[in-house]
Structure 1
Amino acid sequence: MNAQETSTRFRVEGMDCAGCASKIDTAVRRLPGVEEVSVSVVAGTMTVGHKGADLAQVQQKVTDLGYRIAPLTSGAPKEDDALEGMHGHDHGHHDGPWWQTAKAQLTILCGLAVAAAFALEAFIPAWHDELFILAMLVGLIPIGRRAMQGARNGSPFSIETLMTVAAVGAVFINAVEEAAIVVLLFLIGELLEGIATGRARASIKALADLVPRRAQREIEGKISEVDAADLAVGDIVLVRPGDRIPADGVVLSGEGAVDEAPVTGESVPKHKGPEDQVYAGTVNQDGALRVRVTAAAADNTIARIVSLVEEAQESKAPTERFIDRFSKYYTPGVLLVGALVAILPPLVTGASWDEWIYKGLAILLIGCPCALVISTPAAIAAALSAGARQGLLMKGGVVLEQLGKINMVALDKTGTLTEGRPQVTDIVAVDRSEAEVLRLAAALEVGSSHPLAKAILARAKEAGIEPIASSNAGALGGKGIIGTLDGTLLFLGSPKAAAARTPLGEELTARIGGLNDEGKTVSVLIAGGKVAGAIAMRDEPRDDARAGLAALKALGADIVMLTGDNVRTAKAIGADLGIKVNAELLPEDKQRIVTGLKADGKVVAKVGDGINDAPALAAADIGIAMGGGTDVALETADAAVLHGRVMDVANLIRISRAAMSNIWQNITIALGLKAVFLVTTILGVTGLWPAILADTGATLLVTANALRLLAWKGQKR
C-alpha cells in the first residue's frame, strides 16, 4: 500500500549555521519513508515530506546529532514549554540570555580549564602536556562526538571533523598548548556565530510578539478579557487608547490615530474611523475603537508575515545552492590538500615531518568552510527580515535574488497605481455655489455605500459639511438618484440622464467633455428643475505614485500600465504619470503581454492587486501583490507590498541588490582570508593559532556584514 505523502514541521533548537542544517538534512533524508527535507537555520524549523516515515525516528535522529526538536503545529501555544523540558545536548536553546545556553557554558568551562592549565603549569611543570591535554579534552570530546554522529549519519566531512583531526594531530606533534587554545577559539567562534544567528531569529520572533496576548471582547454590550488567539471572525473587540490591536478587523465605531509602523513601516500614524481596515499588532494611540474581527489569529497580517518569512528562508537562492554544492567538494579537497602538505615535502625533500605536519594541520583549520557556507543564508535571512519589517514580503531566496535583475515593471491601474476608490476632483457651480452643490449632493448620498457616494460624502466631511439626509430618496436604475430636501426636488445622475430632464447648456456640456477627456466621471445635480452644478470624480494616483515610478526608472526599469479600465481613463492617468498604457485588457490579455515581454528578453515584474491580475502575476518572472489586494493575488504573487506604496516596488529591487552585493562581499571575505593564510602558512609565517583566528574572524566578519542588512530601511519618498 502506497501511503499518501504528508508534510510535518518541527521546531529545531541549536542550529546556528548552514553546516548544522546540512548535517540534519543529510541524516534525516536517509531515513526510510522520508521524501523531502527542508531546514531553515534562522527560522529554526525543519519541514519533512514523508510517506509512512516513523516521526519518532526522525526526532531521535536529530536528537542524536545534538539538537532539540519538537513537532510544530499551528496555534500550539505551549511549543516553547515542550522544548524547555527536552533533554539538551551540545547545542543550546536560544530564547534565554546567551550565557545560559549549553554552548556558552561549554565554552566558559573550556576557557576555565585552559586558564587553569596555564596557572597549574607554573607549579607542576612536569605535568605540562597532561594539563593542556585535559583542558583540550573538555572542549574536544563534545566536538568529537558531533563529528562521529555526523560521519555515522552521512556527513563525514563536517567542520567538527576538521577540528578533531587538527586538534588530535597537534597533540601527536607536541603542540599541546596550541591544541587546547585552538579548541577554545573554535568554541568561542561557534558561540559568537550562534549569538549572531539568534539576533536574526529574534527579528522574526519580534514580529510575532507584536500581537497582544489578551483582548477585550464585547458580547451583547458586556466586555470580557479573553486570549487573543481565541478570537473568531465576526467577534467584536474594544481597543482602548494605548492598546495594540489584537486582530485584523474593520472599525465599527470610534475614531483615532493608529500607529501602523510596526507592521507596515509607515512612520506617520493613520486616522481610522468607521469602515476603515486595521491590522493586528498596530497601536491605537487615541480614542477607543470598536473593531469587528475579519481574520482569525492564524490568518492575521502578522501571522501571514511570519509564515511567509519562515517559508522564504527555507527556499534557497541559486547562489546559496551553488555554495552548498561547492562546499561538498571543498571540504574533502581541504583534507586532501592538508594531507599532501603534511606528507609530500618530508617524503620528497626530506624536510622535517613535525614542521610540515604542523602546516598541514593549520591548513585543515584554515579550510573550515563555515564562513563560506554561512555567507549566503545569513545575508538572505537578514534581508528577508529587514524587508518584512518594512512591509515587503518575499517568498524565498530565489525571489530575493531575482528581484534585483528586474528591468521591466508592468503595473495594474486600479488599486495599484491609484488608490482604488474615486475621489472628488472638481465641483462645477452653475445655479448654486460650489459649497451648496456639495451639500445638496451629499444629502442625496447619506447612508449609501456606493463608491461614488462615499467620495462625495468624504469631500463634504473635508469641507466641514454635516449633510442632512434627503427625504423620499430613491435610485433610478442606471440613471441616478432622487430625493427631496427643504421642499426642493433633487436629482444627481449621469449627464445624459440629467439632459433628459433639463437642458445643460453649451458651456457646461463642453466642460463635462473636457472632464471626461481627463478620465473623470461626472455627475450633474439638478435642484428644483434647474441645473445646480456638477461633480467630477476620478480614482486618483496614489500619493507616492510619481515618486515611485521615478525611482523604478532610476533603477533602470522600463514601465508599462496594464489595465482593464476604459481607454480614456487609462490614458488620462498614464499621461498624468508619464507612462505607456495598455487598456481594456482581459486577464488573458495581461498574461499574453507579460509573456511577450519575457520573450523579448525582459526580466518582468507584474504588480497588481486583483483576481484579474492573478494569471499575469503567475506568468511574470516576479509577481508582486499590492497590500490590501485579494487573497488570490497574494497567494499567486512571489512578493507582496503590504503597505501598498508604489515606492516599495522600487524598494524590493533595492533590497535585492543590497543583499546580492552583501553576499558577494561575504564570499570575497571568506575566500580571500583563506587564500592569504594558506600562503602564509605554507611559507611558515603563520601557524595553528592564526589559522583558527582567521577562520573564526572570517565567520564573524561575514555574519556581522550580513546583519548590517537588518538596519535597512528603504526609501520612503
Structure 2
Amino acid sequence: MEPFVPNSPGSAEKPLRMRVEGMDCSACAIKVENALKRLPGVSDISMNYATETLSVRLDENRTSREIIELKIRALGYTPTSPNGEAAGALKAAAPDEQLAGDQPWWKTRKGRLVVSLAAPLALAFIVSTVRPDLSLWAYGAVALIGLIPVARRSFIGALSGTPFSIETLMTVATAGAIAIGAAEEAAVVIFLFAIGEFLETVAAGRARSGIKALINLVPRTARIEEAGQIREVAVERLRVGNIVMVRPGDRVPSDGQVVEGQSEVDQAPVTGESVPVSKGPSDPVYAGSINANGELRVRVTHTAADNTIARIIHRVEEAQGSKAPIARFIDRFSVYYTPAAMVVAALIMLGPPLVVGADWYTWLYRGLATLLIVCPCALVISTPAAIASALASGARRGLLIKGGAALEILGRVKTVAFDKTGTLTLGRPEVTDIVAVEGSEDSLLAKAAAVERGSSHPLGLAIIAAAEARELAIPPAFGGATAIPGKAVSARLREGFVSVGSPRYAAELGLLPNELASRIKALEARGKTVLLVLAAKRIIGLIALRDEPRADAIAGIGRLKALGIRTVMLTGDNRCAGDAIGRVLDLEVQSELLPDAKLAAINGMKTRGPVAMIGDGINDAPALATANVGVAMGSGADVALETADAALLKNRVLGVAELVELSRETLSNIWQNITIALGLKAAFFATTVFGVTSLWMAILADTGATVLVTANALRLLRRR
C-alpha cells in the first residue's frame, strides 16, 4: 500500500490529464480505474480507452503524480504527458502528435502476442501429427507461452481491485486444461482469446484515426490582416476580433462573421447542407467550410480551441468515452462463474477424503474431471464464434460492422435516425423541372449548360449533366463566364448575354413577375432550388433542382417500420427541403440542425431506448459517436466512416434493416450457444460427481460442446 500523507490545510485538488498507451479496451479502462480508486487524494476518475486518455482530480499532498504513473506501469500500460498542452487550439482538443504516434498493429503488445502464438501453434500441430507421443509437450509449451502474460495481468489486476476479470477466467481455464492433460485445447483457447483482444486494439486505433481526420479539416495557417498588411500566421494564434482573408478555394480557418465580400460557401463538411450557401456581410461562416468563388474578409468570433470543428472533436471524444460498449457476457458471468467453479472443484477434491475418509486418488481424479468440465472453453468461444460468423456474413453483403458490441446493440435499437444529404438522398442535386417561358425546354437547358460550362458548382454540374443526358448540342460561350458572387453567372452566347441566377437576383433587377414568383415558391416548398435563365434582361425560363432520395430509400424505411423501429430524419438543410423529402419517404423530420442540435436530438431519443444514427458527413460525427450505435454510408466522409460502428459499403438504405435483422439472428444464436455449453456441462457435472464420467468422457464433453457451439455459429455464414 502506498504511504498515506495527511492532507495539509492549504492543499487543493488539481486536474491531471495523461495518455495511457496500450489502454485499448473497456477491460483495460476498468483495471486502471479500479487501481486508482484505491489511492488517496484521487477523485473524479474519467477513462477513455478510445483516445487512450485518463483525467482525474489529484491532491498531490496525498498522492503524487509519480505514484499514479507507477501504478499504471505495474498494470502493463505506459503513462505519458499529453503533447502540446500549451499549443492551444486543436491540439488541446485532440493532440495530433498522439494520434500520429500510433504503432502498426504488429508492434502493439496484443499484436505481438498473436504473432508469437500463431507460429508455435502451427509447429505444435506438425509435431503432434508426426510424433503423437510429444503432443502434450508441444501444445503445453504453446499454452504456457500464451498463459504467462495473461496470468501476469490477472495477478496484477487482482492486487489492484479486479480479482475476477476475463484474464482470471482464461488463466483458470488454461491452467486447468494443462493440469489434466488437455494441452491442445488449452493452446487453442488461449490463441483465440489473444485474437479477440487484438481486434479490440484495431477498433481503438480506428477511432483515433477518426479524430485525426477531423483535425485535418481546419487549415494550419490563416491569412490575417493587420495594419493594412496581409501576413500568414498559425491558426492557433488567431484571436477574437482578428480579420482574416479567405480566398476562393480556401477553407475558413475559424468561426467568424463576414465583414466584406460576397461568395458562396460549401458548408457540407460542417452542416451537411446539400448546396453551397450564399454569404455576405454579417453572415456567419464556420471553420472547415470551403469558400467557393469570391474573396471574403471575415472577423474571427471564436478562437481555434473553441470553433465548430474543435467542438465537434470534443463531442466525439466525449461520446466515445461515455458510450460504454456492451460488456462481454463472459466477462460479466466470470465474476460469479470462475470463483464458484474453483470452489466446487476444490470441495470435490478435498471434501469426501477429509469428511468421510474417502479415497484421495478417486476424488482428486473426479475433481480434475470437474475442472475440465467447468473449463469454459465452449462458453468462451460461444459468443466470439457467432459474432465472427455474423461479421463475415455481413461483410459479404457490404455490411461492415466494426465489432461485437455494435452487432449486439443493433438488434435492440428502438429508433433509427438518418441524416438527409448523402444518406437518404444521393448527395448531389439533380434537375427535376424545366419550365420554358420562351422557346423549348431543350433550348433553355442547352443555354443554361453553356453558361455553366467549366463550373465546379454542384448546381452548375447538375445542369450540364442533364443537358448531356439529353444529348443536347451545347452552344459555345465567347470570352468565358463572369460570376456575380452569390447571385448569378453570365456568359456571351451567339445570340447575346445569357445569365443563370437566383430568384433574388431577378427580383433585384425588377424582372420577376408575380405569377412566376408564385410558381417558384411552390417549387421551393417542395424542397427544390430554383434557378432563372435570363437573356437580354428578360426571363426565358427556370430550372429546378433537388437532391433526390436514393432508389431504395422508401423500401428501406418501410422495412424498418415492419421491424417495429421508429424512423427519424435529422438534417442541417432548410425546413422546406427536409419536409419535402420526409413526405416522400414517410418518416419524421427535424430540420435546420447544426451538429450540437443533432447531438441533443440523439440524446433525447435515447431516453426511449437504444438509438442508431445513420450518416455520411463530417457534421454527423458527434451524432454517430454519441448514438448507441453509429452507421456510416460507404461513400461518406472518412471521419464518418472512422467514427461509426458500422458502414454500408453498398450505400443502400435497405442495408440498415439488414443490419438489424443480422444482429437479431446473431443474438439468438449466441443464447443458443450459451445454452448448449452450460447445458452439457451441467449434465456431465452431475455424472462426474457420481463417478459415471471418466476423465476422457469429461474431455469429450467439453470438446463436444465446443464442436456443437462452433457448428451452430457457422450457420450464420449461410445466411442470405
Q: Which category describes the TM-score, using the shorter chain as reference length?
A: 0.5 to 0.7
Residue deviations 1:578-624 (CA, integer Å, cap 9, x gap): 2233334555554554444444x243334344565566556644444
- The partner residue of 2:560 within 549, 552, 555 is 552
- The partner residue of 2:689 within 682, 692, 711 is 682
1:574 corresponds to which residue?
582
- Offset of residue 442 of structure 1: 0.5
1:605 corresponds to which residue?
612
| Structure 1 residue 103 corresponds to structure 2 residue 103 | no
Partner SS for 1:490:
strand
Partner SS for 1:405:
coil
Partner SS for 1:525:
strand
Contact 1:412 1:563 in 2 (8 A): yes
- The partner residue of 2:526 within 518, 527, 549 is 518
2 CA distance for matches of 1:511 and 1:539? 19
Distance 1:203 1:470, change over 3 A: farther
- Offset of residue 362 of structure 1: 1.2
Amino acid corresponding to residue 654 of structure 2 in structure 1: M
2:188 corresponds to which residue?
191
Amino acid corresponding to residue 115 of structure 2 in structure 1: H
What does 1:353-392 align with in structure 2 at a 5 Å threshold?
A: 354-380=361-387
| Structure 1 residue 93 corresponds to structure 2 residue 115 | yes
Q: Which moved more, 1:658-667 or 1:374-383?
A: 374-383
- Offset of residue 535 of structure 1: 1.6
1 CA distance for matches of 2:684 and 2:656? 43
- The partner residue of 1:336 within 336, 343, 351 is 343
Distance 1:475 1:161, change over 3 A: closer
- Offset of residue 399 of structure 1: 3.9
Distance 1:135 1:379, change over 3 A: closer
Amino acid corresponding to residue 450 of structure 2 in structure 1: A
1:120 corresponds to which residue?
none
| Structure 1 residue 673 corresponds to structure 2 residue 680 | yes
2 CA distance for matches of 1:450 and 1:557? 38
| Structure 1 residue 653 corresponds to structure 2 residue 671 | no
| Structure 1 residue 539 corresponds to structure 2 residue 547 | yes
1 CA distance for matches of 2:375 and 2:655? 39
- Offset of residue 395 of structure 1: 6.5
2:435 corresponds to which residue?
428
1:270 corresponds to which residue?
none
2 CA distance for matches of 1:488 and 1:456? 20
2:489 corresponds to which residue?
481
Contact 1:392 1:648 in 2 (8 A): yes
Partner SS for 1:556:
coil
1:583 corresponds to which residue?
591
Q: Which moved more, 1:651-660 or 1:191-200?
A: 191-200
Partner SS for 2:427:
coil
2:477 corresponds to which residue?
469
Partner SS for 1:474:
strand
- Offset of residue 3 of structure 1: 12
- Offset of residue 365 of structure 1: 0.9
Contact 1:192 1:700 in 2 (8 A): no
2 CA distance for matches of 1:645 and 1:504? 43
What does 1:401-480 align with in structure 2 at a 5 Å threshold?
A: 401-465=408-472, 466=474, 468-471=476-479, 473-476=481-484, 479-480=487-488
| Structure 1 residue 692 corresponds to structure 2 residue 705 | no
- Offset of residue 537 of structure 1: 0.9
- Offset of residue 557 of structure 1: 0.9
Residue deviations 1:317-342 (CA, integer Å, cap 9, x gap): 4341x522432432332232223334
Distance 1:201 1:456, change over 3 A: same
Amino acid corresponding to residue 184 of structure 2 in structure 1: L
Distance 1:503 1:161, change over 3 A: closer
2 CA distance for matches of 1:75 and 1:712? 41
Distance 1:110 1:530, change over 3 A: closer
1 CA distance for matches of 2:574 and 2:170? 63
- Offset of residue 636 of structure 1: 6.5
Distance 1:554 1:94, change over 3 A: farther
Contact 1:594 1:620 in 2 (8 A): yes
Q: Considering only aligned residues, what root-mean-square deviation do their CA atoms show, in Å?
A: 5.7
**Equivalenced residues, count:** 558
Distance 1:620 1:483, change over 3 A: same
Partner SS for 1:419:
strand
Residue deviations 1:53-103 (CA, integer Å, cap 9, x gap): 499987799xxxxxxxxxx996889885999xx9xxxx77369xx6xx223
Partner SS for 1:421:
strand
1 CA distance for matches of 2:48 and 2:668? 26
TM-score (norm 2): 0.60
Amino acid corresponding to residue 678 of structure 1 in structure 2: F
1 CA distance for matches of 2:680 and 2:336? 19
- Offset of residue 538 of structure 1: 0.9
| Structure 1 residue 663 corresponds to structure 2 residue 663 | no
Residue deviations 1:628-676 (CA, integer Å, cap 9, x gap): 5567766775555566442333344334334423322232222122112
2 CA distance for matches of 1:696 and 1:141? 20
Amino acid corresponding to residue 422 of structure 2 in structure 1: G
TM-score (norm 1): 0.61
- Offset of residue 446 of structure 1: 1.3
Amino acid corresponding to residue 120 of structure 2 in structure 1: A
Partner SS for 2:343:
helix
Partner SS for 2:612:
strand
Amino acid corresponding to residue 494 of structure 2 in structure 1: D
What does 1:67-216 align with in structure 2 at a 5 Å threshold?
A: 93=115, 101-106=119-124, 109=127, 115=133, 183=181, 185-188=182-185, 190-191=187-188, 194=191
Residue deviations 1:489-525 (CA, integer Å, cap 9, x gap): 323334565575667695x667545534433223232
1 CA distance for matches of 2:574 and 2:645? 28
Partner SS for 2:450:
helix
Partner SS for 2:426:
coil
- Offset of residue 692 of structure 1: 1.6
Partner SS for 2:584:
helix
Contact 1:624 1:637 in 2 (8 A): yes
Where structure 2 has 5 or more consecutive residues not aligned to the other structure, the ranges are: 1-12, 56-64, 79-97, 206-217, 220-268, 270-315
| Structure 1 residue 326 corresponds to structure 2 residue 323 | no
Partner SS for 1:422:
strand
1 CA distance for matches of 2:415 and 2:154? 48
2 CA distance for matches of 1:187 and 1:576? 60
Partner SS for 1:431:
coil
Amino acid corresponding to residue 543 of structure 2 in structure 1: I
Amino acid corresponding to residue 121 of structure 2 in structure 1: K
Distance 1:28 1:186, change over 3 A: farther
- The partner residue of 2:569 within 561, 572, 577 is 561
